[in-house]
Structure 1
Amino acid sequence: MSTSSENSPYHHGNLRQALLEAALVILEQRGEAGLGLRDLARAVGVSAAAPYRHFDSRMALLEALAVTGFQRFSARMEAVAAGHPAEPMAAMGKTYVLFALEQPNLFRLMFSPQLKKDGRPGLRMAADTAFDTLRHVVGGDVSAGRIKALSAWAKVHGLAVLLLDGQIAIRAGEDTEVLIAEIIGGL
């Protein structure tokens, strides 16, 4: 009689959440290319078919990971805004860049061109919520607030990508957070 997870009955508390959490770990360790549904099933200890009950394809899993990323990102941004920092835009910008540096593969997946937000309402809503947090802090009317928020987003996103790609070298003894704060200071 075999006791492998391949033959075990499907009994797992919140399998979807367990799959997402394991996928986030794999994503950060191996990158998006190293993430497959079979490997994910093995990591969680369920049959190879079990993930398909929650994600009909690898792309659906990637989309769910990006949504999770945007939700976590939005929560961090909202927490910064709720703290009423003296310079809210600079504080949010710093949080943005630090999020990217702490979770580079998730960050890259969230903004990946392969995950087009058109036709994916869950992904669109999660991304829009993150942007709306920034736009709310900027204030002003809808049009002017949007332009200010887009300008700030372009600056911090560009900084995050430059740091991730090693285009801005961190010098020996240089504090990354201080450097980020100095660059973003004028938001």
Structure 2
Amino acid sequence: MHHIEPYYSWLKYYDSSDDELSPFHGKDYNYELYTDTIYGYYIDPAWDAIGSETLYIKILYAHYDEGFAIIELIGEWNDALHNDIMHLKRNILEHMMLQGIDKFILLGENILNFHGSDDSYYEEWFDDVEDGWIVGLNFRDFVTEEMQQFNIDSYINFGGQFDTMDWRTFKPKTLYAKVATQMQRRLGF
């Protein structure tokens, strides 16, 4: 797991530790010291803790004027044991929503498992974004199937192009434009 790094190519466009509105503003990273683990496996020090034992994130890009954020995730999303959605929502997403973010792109290819509970935090998040949306890109099939069993797909948009989008080939604003176009089609705008 320590070989899986957050996507670095967009650092020239955005760095959450330099962003005064980011929940990670001012964070100092020691890339020589591996301290965080998921089930005993060290993870790259560039990942950011959200208060969960099993789920870490990296805010790859945030654009407050357009109201969107792109967040990469790693680990096991475990709502059953650790209530990871509560940690994500309370510690990160609510802070971002207060700054005007209402469209979220979640990059899920490094989510290795999902254990659901109820959907109340997802419903709350969905209600909080009002005119915005939540999209999950490139989550593994078995993860989205498990999420569907807990009705999470009512709040996070998966499927179609969102399952196979080669997001690394785009700049952040271009990725957002592609996802926004797909969401307009899905929502019938």
* TM > 0.5 fold call: no
Structure with the larger RCO, 1 or 2 (CA within 8 Å, 6+ apart): 1
Looking at secondary structure, tell me which structure has more helix per residue: 1
Tell me which interval the TM-score lies in, with the shorter structure as reference length: 0.3 to 0.5
TM-score (norm 2): 0.34
Q: Which has the higher strand share?
A: 2
Higher gyration radius (CA)? 1
